[in-house]
Structure 1
Amino acid sequence: MVINIVVVLFSTGCKSKNDVVAPVRDSLGKINQWIYDSMGYYYYWSSTMPAQPDYSLAPQLFFTSLQHKDDRFSSITNRADIGGKKSTFSYYGFHYSIVRHSVSGAYIGVVTYAAAETPAYRAGLRRGVYFTAVDDSTLSAESITWANERLSSGKTVGITPATWQNNAWVKEEPVSFASSYIDENPVVLTKYFSHNGVKTGYLFYNHFVEGYDVLLLDAFAKLKQENVQECIIDLRYNPGGSVASCAKMLGMLTTVTENSVFGIFVGNAGWGRQVYNMSRILKTSTSASGATVPELAAHRLNLKRVFILTSRATASAAELLVNNLKPYLPVVQLGDTTMGKDEAGFQVADPRNPRQVEWVLQVIVYKLLNSAGNGSYHTGIVPARLVSELSAFPLAAIGAADDPLIAEALMQIYGSHTIEEGLLRRKKTPVYPVYVSSGADAAGAPVVQIDRPH
């Protein structure tokens, strides 16, 4: 959609403080005029933009001057740098936390997740591996910022693994790894727990990626074949992704029709309210797998509720699933409060040929509501029970019954002390989280992306 650029000439005489400032007419002014017009047309908070912006500012600063105080996720980038900020996971394939150990007082890194066949995985990193140094620099209060920057730099980096032996940290041989392309299968683990004849399905799902929808449907088919009566969806490291894939999961967790409202997208005065039913959302998918409600119904589980595990790294489309399920199925959320991306948007670029502006906007266009009209989770969706995965060391394996989040879900399902006994086998050494890379990665990931209405 073409945004017309209008340049108005003003007199150069004395101006009062209420006079409209004329845009600069040089190349910078034209870029900023395009930014202003585009945001005025699309931006959710367009009504709050200043009437007299400073067109002499550099584009990045000009864009910032137009942003609403509550806007955390809109951005502008030069076309040469398009693609957004890279993260530890996108470079190396692992998440980690830095904690302060209550016994030793030391700052310790712990790998919370390592995707299979990634640089970190090939270097031996697994969930629960501890490390005391990055590039031979010991972790400390003073070095944490530097260490985090190194671990998200994309350069070859080394860490020093360590083990806790006889009340002391024993260093091991350092390992190093370079960055490479990460293409993770987000359907990480599908399994079930069984107790007293009741089966509980479990799915660890790491990203809503349409290219893997066929495997997502296959995971639900396996759970359905096992006739699970309860289900745990683990989204603790899920930063979001495809809204269509989100709708597909919703359609396999609860009963919906093609006309069932998936969500409501509320824009500015020009864009108004966009109601997306299941059929409309599914038509945006680039994957044929699960692209119709009847196909989803064939994989649907027979559930009376669903347990969803979340953390501060649960964001965007993952939060959308939590919120949009609630009108259709009781959701028992366990873990930590989510990131708080209750917004959707799309890229805005100069459509003219030839292009006159090389900058690209990623702006918030909509606020997100479920079919009951509920949303406003910009501070995050709070779980029914707060549970930290760092509350028990060493960390349990992904999908293990004695992982604190899974243990809480199983306790609510079964009321079994067997789960408590399993948890007691892990030493509850208090630690104080200082930095969580998965949360930082999720903060830099895009908000919900939706096709631009025409």
Structure 2
Amino acid sequence: MKKYVLLFLGLSLLMVSCSNDDNQIKNGETPQLLPGSDAITQHFMWQAMNLWYFWQGDVNDLSDTRFTSNQQYTDFLEATPGPEDFFFDVLLFDEDRFSFLNSDYSELVNNLSGVSRSNGLEFNLVRFSGSDDIFGYVIYIVPNSDASTKAIQRGDIFTRVDGQQLTINNYVSLLYGSNTSYTLGMADIVGNEIVDNATEVALTKVENQVEDPILVAETLDVNGTKVAYLMYNRFLSNFNEQLNAAFGEFIAEGATELVLDMRYNPGGSVNTSRLLASMVYGTNTSDLYIRQRWNAKVQAQLSDEQLSDYFANSTGSSAINSLNLDRVFVIATNDSASASELVMNGLAPYVDVIHIGETTRGKNEFSITLVDDIDNAFIYASDREDEINPDNSWGIQPLVGRNENADGFYDYTSGLVPDITLVEDLANLGVLGDTNEPLLARALEEITGVASKVSFSAQMPAKSFASSRFQTAAKDNMYLDKPLDIDFTQLDFTKE
């Protein structure tokens, strides 16, 4: 077994030392579920959150001294029989906006790899003024998906699903429910109004749909300047080699500037963000990219070396292709979150990051996937799936830490504010990667110093309240995928 799996065994041994014959909880012991109780999922959640949750010290019900007996602990767990209610209403800190869970950990794990049940249509939703009615607009189509074979494209508007007007109350069930297919009723923009038309588009959700996060990667020749353009839509570690290959092409084509488009990117792998930042800035492995900050329990057990992530010179399989830039133009909006923001913040001490678009989402915490694997102290490991409790399929994705950059900055919970504010226009979303697409055109204007012929005034500003990008099991998650190379069996997590 790998060392980073072994390190968690020591934690679990410390957590199961209480005998059922002795109902009292002694100093240094954690509470245990009494035999016969059906609060198995709640027990797993409390134990995992008590150890790993970033705000463990701020939640009274997660305190190490909260319970004096196993009976009291068991009664507490059984008082909230629904796992979701227990997780959200009992265990979470008030300021936590992003921790989540899934009743099927395998769905959660698949989504973290870019695999989901999807028809390939990515869209945002907008609420009509003064009404509960809403409409959607297409932001892009996933290649090689069901939607890619249908007459629908970026910028198209829809108002109905299976003949029903979309509302604030029914859109979740109609668009994200268990239905395997649905038919969209389309609409047009007439002046400043959304007007229904008779066109319908039938779409089918496909199991195990895989999305390549690199939607567009090309080098543009703009007035003699070679500008690399990358439309990157999620940080997925299983596409690291493709990402590195794209930068290899940029270098081969002579690119000297980069427009990194993360306007719809909700996040993902922390390590992939480090690799992308290295492809932008450089491969000096002595330059600090980010430093982790855990709760007091975990933080005290880790050295500075274990907490620090440096820029990379390799993906693990191949040498990093780096543009070695001293500035980068980043397109980011309110749909840009977690690992997207991490790249911007991690690069800031070294590179001039020119942010074009809107204030980002403000998700500066990372998470890990926790499952009911008692022998592994809950952290999911693919080679231990046989060890997961067959009576408890729940997986939780709690926030367990924050990342600060080399300057020590991490406080962007209100989002990263753009240097150049520009919102998308529903009446002119443009074609992604086209030099006339407004946000890219604005970046190119900044790069070349030549005024664009594109209008930057928005006829219908795209102000959405929800996005399909945040409706997968992975949501806007930034997950830590760096093994902690340490033997925890020699360390002590017991109470003082």
Q: Which amino acid aligns with 1:405?
A: L
1:256-267 matches, cutoff 5 A: 256-267=283-294
TM-score (norm 2): 0.75
Q: 1:282 to 1:93 in 2, by over 3 A?
A: farther
Q: 1:251 to 1:147 in 2, by over 3 A?
A: same
Q: Which amino acid aligns with 1:366?
A: G
Q: Tell me what 1:351 maps to.
A: 374
For residues 171-196 of structure 1, give each alpha carbon's deviation from its aligned partner in whole angstroms, at most 9, with x where no partner exists.
13312111013212222212233344
Q: State whether residues 247 and 282 of structure 1, in contact with CA within 8 Å, keep that contact through their aligned partners in structure 2.
A: no
Q: Tell me what 1:146 maps to.
A: 170
Deviates more, 1:110-119 or 1:213-222: 213-222
Q: Tell me what 1:408 maps to.
A: 442
Whole-angstrom distance in 2 between the partners of 1:310 and 1:411: 17
Q: 1:77 to 1:199 in 2, by over 3 A?
A: closer
Residue aligned with 2:427, SS: coil
Q: Tell me what 1:240 maps to.
A: 267
Q: Tell me what 1:444 maps to.
A: 475
Matched, 1:44 2:70: no
Matched, 1:337 2:359: yes
Q: Which amino acid aligns with 2:213?
A: P
Residue aligned with 2:169, SS: helix
| Pairwise CA distance, 1:81 | 7.2
Deviates more, 1:394-403 or 1:53-62: 53-62
1:76-115 matches, cutoff 5 A: 76-79=101-104, 82-83=107-108, 91-99=118-126, 108-115=135-142
Matched, 1:215 2:242: yes
Q: Tell me what 1:292 maps to.
A: none
Residue aligned with 2:463, SS: strand
1:10-409 matches, cutoff 5 A: 10=24, 26-28=36-38, 32-50=42-60, 51=66, 54-56=76-78, 57-58=80-81, 59-64=83-88, 65-79=90-104, 82-83=107-108, 91-99=118-126, 108-139=135-166, 143-155=167-179, 156-164=181-189, 169=195, 171-180=197-206, 181-272=208-299, 274-278=306-310, 288-289=317-318, 295-296=319-320, 299-349=321-371, 350-352=373-375, 355=389, 358=392, 359-389=394-424, 391=425, 393-409=427-443
For residues 184-230 of structure 1, give each alpha carbon's deviation from its aligned partner in whole angstroms, at most 9, with x where no partner exists.
22222122333443222211111222332232222212221232222
Residue aligned with 2:465, SS: strand
For residues 8-32 of structure 1, give each alpha carbon's deviation from its aligned partner in whole angstroms, at most 9, with x where no partner exists.
6259xxxxxxxx9997664245654
Q: 1:449 to 1:282 in 2, by over 3 A?
A: farther
Whole-angstrom distance in 1 between the partners of 2:442 and 2:150: 32
Q: Tell me what 1:433 maps to.
A: 463
Whole-angstrom distance in 2 between the partners of 1:183 and 1:337: 29
Residue aligned with 1:374, SS: coil
Q: Which amino acid aligns with 1:362?
A: Q
TM-score (norm 1): 0.82
Residue aligned with 1:62, SS: helix
Q: Which amino acid aligns with 1:399?
A: G
Q: State whether residues 176 and 471 of structure 2, in contact with CA within 8 Å, keep that contact through their aligned partners in structure 1.
A: no
Deviates more, 1:262-271 or 1:130-139: 130-139
Q: State whether residues 335 and 388 of structure 1, in contact with CA within 8 Å, keep that contact through their aligned partners in structure 2.
A: yes
Q: 1:440 to 1:213 in 2, by over 3 A?
A: closer
| Pairwise CA distance, 1:433 | 3.0
Residue aligned with 1:109, SS: strand
Q: State whether residues 154 and 178 of structure 1, in contact with CA within 8 Å, keep that contact through their aligned partners in structure 2.
A: no
Deviates more, 1:393-402 or 1:69-78: 69-78
Structure 1, unaligned stretches of length 5 or more? Answer: 12-19, 290-294
> Larger relative contact order (C-alpha < 8 A, sep ≥ 6)?
2
Structure 2, unaligned stretches of length 5 or more? Answer: 1-7, 61-65, 68-72, 376-386, 487-496
Q: State whether residues 243 and 449 of structure 1, in contact with CA within 8 Å, keep that contact through their aligned partners in structure 2.
A: yes
For residues 312-365 of structure 1, give each alpha carbon's deviation from its aligned partner in whole angstroms, at most 9, with x where no partner exists.
221222221111111121111111222222112222232346848724332222
Whole-angstrom distance in 1 between the partners of 2:421 and 2:362: 16
For residues 279-307 of structure 1, give each alpha carbon's deviation from its aligned partner in whole angstroms, at most 9, with x where no partner exists.
7x788x6x624xxxxx21xx221423001
Q: 1:177 to 1:265 in 2, by over 3 A?
A: same
| Pairwise CA distance, 1:40 | 1.9
For residues 111-139 of structure 1, give each alpha carbon's deviation from its aligned partner in whole angstroms, at most 9, with x where no partner exists.
11111221222122210112232211234
- Over the aligned positions, Cα root-mean-square deviation in angstroms equals 3.4
Q: Which amino acid aligns with 1:263?
A: I
Whole-angstrom distance in 2 between the partners of 1:85 and 1:436: 22
Q: Which amino acid aligns with 2:431?
A: A
Equivalent residues, number:
426
Whole-angstrom distance in 1 between the partners of 2:227 and 2:85: 52
Whole-angstrom distance in 1 between the partners of 2:163 and 2:479: 39
